[in-house]
Structures are given as structure tokens and as C-alpha cells.
Structure 1
Amino acid sequence: MSLITPQSREPGKKKGNFRRNDNNRIYANPLPLVFSPEEKNVWSSHKVLGLFGLAGSRIQNPHCEGVFDAHTRSVWVTNSDYSTTLWRRGFFGKGTLSRSEPSWLARQINARQNAEKNMVSEQVTAKRRAERKQFKLDRARAIAQAAAAAEAAFAEGRILTVEETGIVIPSAATWKPSRPASPPPPAPEPSTPTTQKDPPEDEDIIPENMEHLQLTLQEAFFLAWTLDCLMIVDPDTHAAMSLQQIWQTFQLVHFPLYFSASQELSNLRFDNPFLINYVVYHHYRSLGWVVRSGIKFCVDYLLYKRGPVFHHAEFAIVVCPVYEDEQDRETCPFDLQNVDPFSWTWLSTVNRVNSQVQKTLVLTYVTIPSRSRCHSVLLASPACLQFFTVREVVLRRFIPARMRD
């Protein structure tokens, strides 16, 4: 972020406006794909393309890379540049050591550079005790040196002044802590050239980035299929997975016996949790909303107009699967949430929680197509998504203090 000084601010402008302008610049791109204009070598070329409804711009695709992890049912993006790109261009994923944005490394560096400002009370107390102990040692060492010098001068029959010794006994008012001197290196051999190097300071060592960006299966497939800007790597073969492999693996990973036995593709079902959640995720992403996890507010998704750094989420989404054929529900091997009718206690609780934080609760019903009408062969590709339907019911809690007008 750029440094804003009081002199550079325009009169009448608030401090928050500069932070908003920085966010508009950093998060200017709503998706990882960036449309950049071509070099205008020929002025008339863009005019001619405009006559045919074509734009004289090209698409910049970041081509990020992630590793599929079956245990967490997610995709890990370990490259910091890719993580920053996916977060700043659409707010995809979550930092494993952060609340949302992968900022663990930046916080560690900032903590080292501003250690004095970020210390807690226990650290301040320990620091003061260490400095007091160091002061006593320095004072005792200076007094011993002065006493030894005075004794040597007395043996020679002369009086030694303080100026002649050059030893200053520190006082509590003027003493300042200094870094303890490191032991001198061993003396080199006569034939070996000597090169004196200063030991590096701890503040100059950049810590290793222990954080990675974690994408949900819905986010990863949306980036790989819809935007073609994510390559997913198989953790066993270390090879790039094809789109068909990604689609089938993301479905099979939800089976209870995924790690114990190989699943047949004929066992794929339309009520797979990945399909149900991806239908909702793709539906709202295609409408321009930024979709984030809503587990903090007891819902499935949160919808943002531009992103978490600009505004709070306006809508809280609860995904409700609905079977077209009730017989398919009886043979379902998955533990689907919100299939049974809601209790009024649960619905009132969730609605009240989201009303208190100014969010509108939306029940998104996903109709699962019947297996008798749609063959399971369709599940081998994303073409099966056309058989799902999405319906929305908006709930608003009646608050007499706000709805009198």
C-alpha cells in the first residue's frame, strides 16, 4: 500500500477514502482472467473490429496450479504468487493460517519489524527483567575493571583518574541495552586468507511461508472448467489431471469407501454432495456474486456484491436438496444436510442470527433429477448440470422496531 502523508491529502477528504481507493486498485479484477487491450500499432484496426462487434483486446490467463488433497476434500495452492492472484481476483480460497486472505507471512514479517508495538504484557515484563539483569551485569563488569585498574596504578605508586582509565560505570538513567557480542571466530591458519563477515541479524531473515491457499472442490472446479485458469495435480502421480478426471474424482471422494476400495463410475449418483453444492455455487457465481463459505453464520454460503474487503455479505444461503423421486432418497449413501423438513426452532435461530448481522436468509432449493428419468451415464461429464433446477425462497424476520413504517 502506498504511504499517504497528511500533506498529500486533499482538503475535505477522509482517511477512509484512501483505503477505499487502494482496495479499488488492488481488487480491480473480479475474476482471474484479465482483459487487456492490444498494442495500438494500427489505429484503424480497432475501428474495423468494432464494426463487426469484436473487441481489440486479449485475455490474460494466469494458469495457476494446485494439488488435490482427498483427506480434506480441497485443492492446495502452495505458490504464493498464485495464491495472491486467486484471492485478489475474485476472492477464491482461504489461507490455512489466516481468517480469509493468506497473509500469515506478511504478519510474521510485520511482527518482527514492529516487535515493540506488537508485544503483549507478558512479553513486555520478560523484556524488562532481561534488560535489568543485563544492566546489573554491565555495571558489575565496569566496577571490576575500574577496581583492577586502580589497584594496578596503586601498586606502581601513582593515582589513576577516571579520565585515564576510560571506564564508564553505567547508571540506571543513562544505560541502554545493547546486543550481546558474539564470540570471536577461531584464528585461521597463516596460509589461509582471512575474510571477516558479520553475523546476520534475526530481523533480516525472512521466515519460511508455512501457509497455503485452500480451495474448496466447488471453487477449484469452477476455476478449472469455467475459467480454465487452474491446473489440478494428482498427489500420487504428480501429473496434471484432465477435466474428466477432476469431475469424476470430486464426486467419488464423497463416497464413504473412497479410501478403502475403488469406486465404479456406475455408482455415481445425482444426489452427490459435490454436485448439489456446485450447482448452487455455479449459479450465483455466474450471476456475478462473490460466493464465500457461511459456516460462521450457520449457513452454507454468503453472497458479496464485490468482496469481503468492500462490504459485508448481503445474503446468507442455505442449500436445501429436494428429491424429484422419493425412492432415490431411500437408497442415498450420503448424509445430506437439510433434506428433512426444518424445525421451527432451527429455522428461527438461523434467521435471527443472520438478521442481527444485517443479512437476508435465502433458502435455495436444488431439485435432484430422478434416476429413472436421467441415466447415470450423464454424470461422467458436466453436461448433467442442465437437469438440476434451482429455486429460491427469501425469508425476512419481522422486527417491530424496524418495520413500523
Structure 2
Amino acid sequence: MSSISRPRGGGQTKGGGRRFENNKIYANPLPLLFIEPPPSRIGSILGLLGLSLTRVENPHCEGVFDPVTRSVWVTNPDHSLILWRRGFFGKGDLSRSEPSWLARQINIRRSAGKQLTSEEITARRRAERRQFKLDRAAAIAAVAEEAEEIFATEGRVITPALSGPAIPSAATWRPSQQLREETPLAPPPPLEDEEELEDVEHLQLTLQEAFFLLWNLDCLTVLNPNSMQPMTLQQIWVAFQKTEIPPVIPHPTEPSDGLQFDNPFLINYVVYHHYRSLGWVVKGGIKFCVDYLLYKRGPVFTHAELALIVLPVYEDPEDQKTSHIDLQNSSPFGWSWLSTINRVNSQVQKTLILVYVTIPAKSRVSKQVLLTPGCLAHYSIREVVLRRFIPARMRD
């Protein structure tokens, strides 16, 4: 496994006005607290010997395993806050990222619908962008129609202009007051006797995030959805794998029946564990057509610098032919597909990385190792950094 050097640009910072507040709120990169005892003579002596009395305190968070959504749900608001603010784990099911549904609803009540939330600002901006495109297309069509009339009546050929005073541009176009009034914003202000709001939002952890928290940091307990009792590590490990495979074995006789080395959970966890262990904040990248995004500190500080595409590679090609899983990106891909994704991420100043995960051969490794996380030692990662060649920017 190899590390990644700092990409070009260094990442764009976010929220400059709230930087000091964010540094205070998100001071802990992981849900661990390092508690130092007060200074003492014994502590000074141990310090000279290179020892310390500092102890590590793990928060004890709970989540419920949901095999339908292939995730773990954290329903306790305090636990959700800890996991989000100490490492940006999970996502609010009623929010874009941070579980802020209750705060938004309280804000709406206090401001009587006048102060917009981030989701409402996004909805208004998208409506304005859609209207701008319609107005621009209508203006271009009007200019083309005028040119055709001149040709029909006077016989002069005029090339329709795509810019000019008659064609709105992004710099000059302004939304109409009617559009702002029609854009759905906050609900009407509540009545004075309205009941107190109940926080109905949950923090949703991916299987990779949940297992990293419980196995590496020992700060998460996963409950069985049927009995609501804590699950053992081996039960969680096997259950997470079986949610990703098709039911090809109706009556398994052995605990390892149905488990395969090319399980999507294993492939994605290898990548997630690798980069989390190197200090990166790993989040989903479906918005940019990739598997993962890497942040240096977190989404509230800077935009993601790196975009990852996970590419599984079979050590033994025969294993792919006999596998019951159609693993994503395991077959050769076209250059047009790769160029499209690379262009999308280049436009948003992200460096694209192809992460090749080598799947061990069944003939070399026993299937019984899949019953424990020890099987991860048989996987390996190779990284290829891909940059789009832009002649106008790369002449020097």
C-alpha cells in the first residue's frame, strides 16, 4: 500500500467566516478523547522517561443494523452528534450531510420562514438556473427567427448571434420577482400553541463506516434489528458480507457458505480502511460519478481534493467466471467512460485516482478466513493517479 502526495491546488477552503468556530467544534478528528491528568511530580518523571499518564476515552455509541438499506442507523441524537463532529461519520437521513433537520425546523419557526436554510437556498438556485436556461434559449430562438424573416423579406443573410444585449448571460441575467415568489421556500410560520418539535432524524452509517468504528476504534455497538441485542464481532462481520451477496444458497450448512472473496463489502472496506488509516476523511462520491471522495479535514473545512474509483482485480481470472457476484468495474472499461469521469472531476478541481484492489485466489487462500477480519491481510491496493491533459493550461 502506498500513500498519496498532496495534489495540485491544495483544496479550496470553505466557510472562511466560520473557520474559528469550525476549528473548535470539529477539533477531534476521531471519536476518541485523550484525557491528560493534572501536572504532578510523578507525571514529570514519567515524561522524562518518555511515558505518559494520558488515557484514551471511547464514547459508547449504539446503532441498529438494517439489512434492507445495507446500513447502520444511529437513533440517539447525542451519539449522532458525537460521530459526526468527531470524524464526519455517517449522514443525516433528512439532510444532505450533517444531521441538521431539527436545527432547520427550529430556525424556520424562529424566523417565521424568512431566513432560508441551505436546502432551500439550493432549491431556489436550481430553479433560477433552470429559468435562466429557458430565457436564454428563448432569446436565441427569437434572434434566429428574426434572421429568417430578414432573409425572407430582404434576401440578406444574417448569422444569428449567440451573445449580445438581446441574449442574457450569467453575468447580466437576474431572476424575476415572480420566480422568487413561486419558488417553494419555508413552510408558513407555526401557530403559537403548536407542539414542541421531535427530532425524527437518524444518522445513517455505511457498513464500511460502522465496521471501522466498532473494530478499529471500539466506540460503536451494533444491535440486532430483531432482538435489539448487541451482536458479536463475528456476527457483524458475516452479516455485513451476506447483505451484499445474492441468495444463491437457500440452506447453508456451514457458516462460510455463501461468503466469497469478491464480496462488495470486503472490496469497499479495504479501500475505506486504507485511506481512513492514513488520516483522510472518506465520504461517498456518487455526486461526481466516483466511489469515494477524500477530504483532508472534513466537508466543513475544504472541498474534496481526491476522487477515487474502486477497480477490483482478480488474482485468478477463473474466479471471476465462477463467481455469483457481478462485481462493479471488474470488467475492462472503455476509454470514453474513463474520459467522461475524468473530465467531470477535472472541472471541479479534483484529482482522479484509480484504486486497484487485488482479490486473492480461492485456490491459494482457504474460504474459512472469510469468517474473521483477518482475511483483509490477503488483499492489496495499487493506486494510479490520472490527470486530464488540457493543452491551454499545461504549456509551461
TM over 0.5: yes
Secondary structure of the 2:256 match is helix
Q: Distance in 2 between matches of 1:313 and 1:349?
A: 19
Partner of 1:168: none
Letter in 1 for 2:364: R
Partner of 1:121: 181
1:391 and 2:373 aligned: no
Secondary structure of the 1:91 match is coil
Q: Is the contact between residue 72 and residue 205 of structure 2 (CA under 8 Å) also seen in structure 1? A: yes
The total of aligned residue pairs comes to 316
* 1:132-281 correspondence runs (5 A): 201-202=193-194, 205-257=195-247, 264-267=254-257, 268-281=259-272
1:363 and 2:354 aligned: yes
Partner of 2:281: 290
1:333 is displaced (CA, Å) by: 1.2
Q: Distance in 1 between matches of 2:342 and 2:245?
A: 32
Post-superposition CA distance 1:167-212 (Å, at most 9, x none): xxxxxxxxxxxx9xxxxxxxxxxxxxxxxxxxx632xx43111210
Letter in 2 for 1:333: H
Q: Distance in 1 between matches of 2:372 and 2:103?
A: 41
Q: Is the contact between residue 83 and residue 212 of structure 1 (CA under 8 Å) also seen in structure 2? A: yes
Partner of 1:379: 370
Q: Is the contact between residue 252 and residue 263 of structure 1 (CA under 8 Å) also seen in structure 2? A: no
Q: Is the contact between residue 33 and residue 56 of structure 2 (CA under 8 Å) also seen in structure 1? A: yes
Q: Is the contact between residue 289 and residue 304 of structure 1 (CA under 8 Å) also seen in structure 2? A: yes
* 1:327-346 correspondence runs (5 A): 327-346=318-337
Q: Is the contact between residue 256 and residue 371 of structure 2 (CA under 8 Å) also seen in structure 1? A: no
Q: Is the contact between residue 105 and residue 209 of structure 1 (CA under 8 Å) also seen in structure 2? A: yes
Unaligned segments of structure 1, at least 5 residues: 1-14, 129-178, 180-199
1:328 is displaced (CA, Å) by: 0.7
Pick aligned residue for 2:83 from 64, 83, 86 = 86
Post-superposition CA distance 1:189-245 (Å, at most 9, x none): xxxxxxxxxxx632xx43111210000000000000000000000011111001111
Distance 1:355 1:261, change over 3 A: farther
Q: Is the contact between residue 92 and residue 219 of structure 1 (CA under 8 Å) also seen in structure 2? A: yes
1:102 and 2:93 aligned: no
Unaligned segments of structure 2, at least 5 residues: 1-13, 117-179
Q: Is the contact between residue 307 and residue 353 of structure 2 (CA under 8 Å) also seen in structure 1? A: yes
Secondary structure of the 2:44 match is helix
Secondary structure of the 2:301 match is coil
Partner of 2:120: none
Distance 1:22 1:57, change over 3 A: same
Q: Is the contact between residue 252 and residue 258 of structure 1 (CA under 8 Å) also seen in structure 2? A: no
1:326 and 2:323 aligned: no
Distance 1:259 1:228, change over 3 A: farther
Q: Distance in 2 between matches of 1:53 and 1:326?
A: 51
Post-superposition CA distance 1:217-276 (Å, at most 9, x none): 000000000000000000111110011111111111112128976684233111111110
Distance 1:259 1:92, change over 3 A: farther
TM-score (norm: length of structure 1): 0.74
Q: Distance in 1 between matches of 2:338 and 2:16?
A: 39
1:52 is displaced (CA, Å) by: 3.4
Distance 1:16 1:286, change over 3 A: closer
Work out which structure has the larger RCO, using CA pairs closer than 8 Å and 6 or more positions apart in sequence. 2
Secondary structure of the 1:19 match is helix
TM-score (norm: length of structure 2): 0.76
Q: Is the contact between residue 80 and residue 212 of structure 1 (CA under 8 Å) also seen in structure 2? A: yes
Q: Which moved more, 1:24-33 or 1:46-55?
A: 46-55
Q: Distance in 1 between matches of 2:88 and 2:183?
A: 36
1:116 is displaced (CA, Å) by: 4.3
1:16 is displaced (CA, Å) by: 6.1
Q: Is the contact between residue 109 and residue 206 of structure 1 (CA under 8 Å) also seen in structure 2? A: no
How many percent of aligned residue pairs carry the same amino acid?
63
Post-superposition CA distance 1:96-147 (Å, at most 9, x none): 01000000110011011112414873699xx99xxxxxxxxxxxxxxxxxxx
Post-superposition CA distance 1:375-399 (Å, at most 9, x none): 0111111111111000000000011
Distance 1:337 1:16, change over 3 A: closer
Q: Is the contact between residue 74 and residue 217 of structure 1 (CA under 8 Å) also seen in structure 2? A: yes
Q: Distance in 2 between matches of 1:263 and 1:89?
A: 42
Distance 1:221 1:22, change over 3 A: same
Q: Distance in 2 between matches of 1:324 and 1:115?
A: 61
